[in-house]
């Protein structure tokens, strides 16, 4: 019986022949302009969010395609083709984010107007060892970056939704090792196992669509997801083992164990990211995530639905109680050590309307999500977000996109109680728990941008952000920011 080819598979076959996609990026609501993703290293989350029947394995191959985004210089001196023919991919890109305050600044706290720039250059290497050395189903992946700058939102007192996500954690050095791991893929993607240095949030509670935005509430994961430092976040990683099963073409379940390390974000130990020993391992995190990836509208309306849970065994500082069950803000004793914490999430993206005659990613997609953290050890105890992304609505510029996203973050009531007590005890604003200027309760952020496909491998996105209760602090005035996000995929 002849196999029925879906519209998605037809698109994949054509797109792979053009070399415009990143790994398993289907072009169906996953890629940004012309296949140039928002930044290097998004391939792991794209692979998570790609249904089994849309991964274009080469004939006889067990390794998913290596990433090959649209690039400014796709084949310099012919060496890219030579390497890829042997199973080796090398990517180099730059992401830059600029923001400036155009609203008011609350007087009396030493805050100020201003602007700032943050950015990253990233080098990625992926190797298909099946093609290179005949090792069936095996591939390796590694990324290193250099980062610079800070987000301007700090200037007006926000410490919860940084206006530029591409900052920090890079050690302020020329070369910072992000991750390196081996991956074995069997039975055409039915089973996948990875081991090595892996960021927890590369695979769990992730979505490549988030980095169409710039605010750290959205890109690269919901900000509450990294509130628990046991959940390692790019550009830092842990020793880990991750397993993924795909019982059907549109479902998956993944789990693993991540060996948490104390001080993972401290530059004293992780400035270069090359500290590989496990001397400071202080616990483990075990996550479980289940995903459903249906396609409605006769193959034109893709969606991704995922629900997850994680439990860790790390000792965390309690945000309110000391070891005797009293408020440490009053007793002056050290915070209690709480053993282990929980996190849970639900994320969704669903294309609601496909623009007739456009590419597979041409349409309006809804984004939504919820994240929960244990209140006694967290600043961000809950996060809710919702937004829309539209691409291909303008026939003359099919790769341009417009997006709007909204985030609500609820601060742990226990943390807010501690800050209130600290003020009563005479602690100065700016020195409260979490560096707050007043008790934190909830904060909201609205972001809107227009992404321009400037040229092959280049995007430029003017960006607007509005802060309600900056940093979750009602003592600070609402304010607004203007800026831009640019991305250049060099090769």
Cα 188 to its chain centre, rounded Å, is 26
* pTM of the predicted structure, to 2 decimals: 0.90
Q: For residue range 301-315, list pLDDT tens digits in order.
A: 999 999 999 999 999
In a domain, 302, yes or no: yes
pLDDT of amino acid 186: 92
Average pLDDT of the segment spanning 421-441: 96
Residue 403 lies in a domain: yes
Characterise 196 by phi-psi region: left (phi > 0), alpha (psi -120 to 50), beta (else): left
Cα–Cα distance for residue pair 92/312, rounded to 1 Å = 35
pLDDT digits 0-9 by tens, 100-140: 999 989 999 999 999 999 999 999 999 999 999 999 999 99
3-state secondary structure of 221: coil
CATH number at residue 180: 2.40.160.180
In a domain? residue 98 = yes
Residues 256, 243 contacting (CB under 8 angstroms) = yes
- Domain region containing 456: 7-489
Give percent of the chain with pLDDT exceeding 90: 76
The reply to whether 214 falls in a domain is yes
CA distance 340 to 227: 14
In this structure, is residue 1 part of a structural domain? Answer: no
Within 8 A by CB and 6+ apart from 463, the residues are: 99, 214, 447, 448, 449, 482, 483, 484, 485
Could you tell me if residue 383 is inside a domain?
Answer: yes
Long-range contacts, stretch 74-82, CB < 8 angstroms, 24+ apart: 74/19, 74/456, 74/457, 74/491, 75/491, 76/491, 80/491
- Is the distance from CB of 409 to CB of 223 less than 8 angstroms? yes
Query: What domain count does the chain have?
Result: 1
Residue 2 forms part of a structural domain: no
313: in domain: yes
Tell me the Ramachandran region of residue 83: left when phi exceeds 0, alpha when psi lies from -120 to 50, beta otherwise.
alpha
């Amino acid at each position: 019986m002849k196999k029925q080819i879906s519209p998605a598979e037809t698109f994949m076959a054509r797109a792979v022949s053009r070399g415009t996609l990143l790994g398993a990026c289907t072009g169906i609501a996953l890629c940004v302009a012309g296949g140039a993703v928002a930044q290097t290293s998004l391939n792991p989350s794209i692979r998570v969010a790609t249904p089994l029947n849309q991964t274009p394995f080469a004939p006889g191959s067990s390794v998913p395609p290596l990433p090959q985004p649209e690039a400014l210089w796709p084949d310099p001196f012919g060496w890219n083709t030579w390497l890829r023919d042997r199973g080796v991919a090398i990517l180099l890109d730059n992401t830059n984010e600029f923001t400036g305050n155009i609203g008011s600044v609350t007087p009396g706290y030493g805050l100020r107007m201003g602007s700032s720039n943050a950015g990253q250059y990233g080098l990625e290497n992926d190797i298909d060892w099946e093609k290179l050395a005949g090792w069936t189903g095996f591939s390796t992946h590694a990324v290193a970056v250099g980062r610079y700058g800070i987000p301007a939102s700090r200037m007006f007192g926000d410490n919860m939704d940084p206006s530029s996500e591409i900052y920090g954690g890079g050690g302020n050095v020329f070369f910072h090792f992000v991750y390196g791991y081996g991956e074995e893929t069997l039975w055409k993607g039915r089973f996948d196992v990875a081991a090595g240095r892996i960021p927890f949030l590369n695979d769990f509670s992730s979505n490549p669509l988030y980095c169409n935005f710039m605010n750290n509430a959205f890109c690269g994961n919901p900000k509450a997801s990294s509130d628990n430092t046991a959940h390692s976040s790019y550009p830092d990683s842990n020793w880990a083992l991750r397993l993924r099963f795909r019982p059907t073409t549109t479902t998956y379940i993944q789990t693993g164990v991540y060996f948490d390390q104390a001080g993972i974000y401290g530059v004293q130990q992780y400035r270069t990211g090359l500290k590989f020993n496990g001397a400071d391992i202080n616990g483990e995190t075990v996550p479980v995530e289940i995903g459903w990836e249906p396609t409605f509208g006769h193959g034109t309306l893709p969606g991704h639905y995922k629900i997850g849970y994680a439990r860790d065994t790390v000792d965390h500082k309690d945000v309110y109680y000391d070891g005797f069950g009293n408020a440490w803000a009053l007793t002056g004793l050290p915070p209690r050590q709480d053993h282990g914490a929980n996190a849970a999430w639900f994320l969704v993206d669903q294309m609601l309307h496909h623009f007739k005659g456009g590419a597979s990613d041409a349409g309006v997609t809804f984004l939504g999500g919820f994240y929960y953290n244990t209140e006694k050890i967290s600043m961000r105890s809950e996060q809710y977000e919702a937004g829309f992304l539209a691409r291909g609505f303008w026939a003359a510029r099919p790769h341009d996109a417009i997006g709007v996203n909204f985030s609500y973050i609820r601060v742990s009531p226990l943390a807010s109680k501690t800050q209130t007590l600290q003020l009563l005890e005479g602690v100065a604003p700016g020195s409260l728990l979490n560096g707050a200027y007043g008790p934190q309760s909830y904060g909201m952020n609205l972001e809107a941008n227009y992404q321009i496909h400037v040229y092959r491998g280049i995007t430029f996105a003017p960006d607007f952000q509005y802060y309600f209760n900056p940093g979750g602090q009602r003592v600070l005035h609402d304010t607004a920011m203007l800026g831009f996000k640019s991305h250049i995929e060099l090769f």
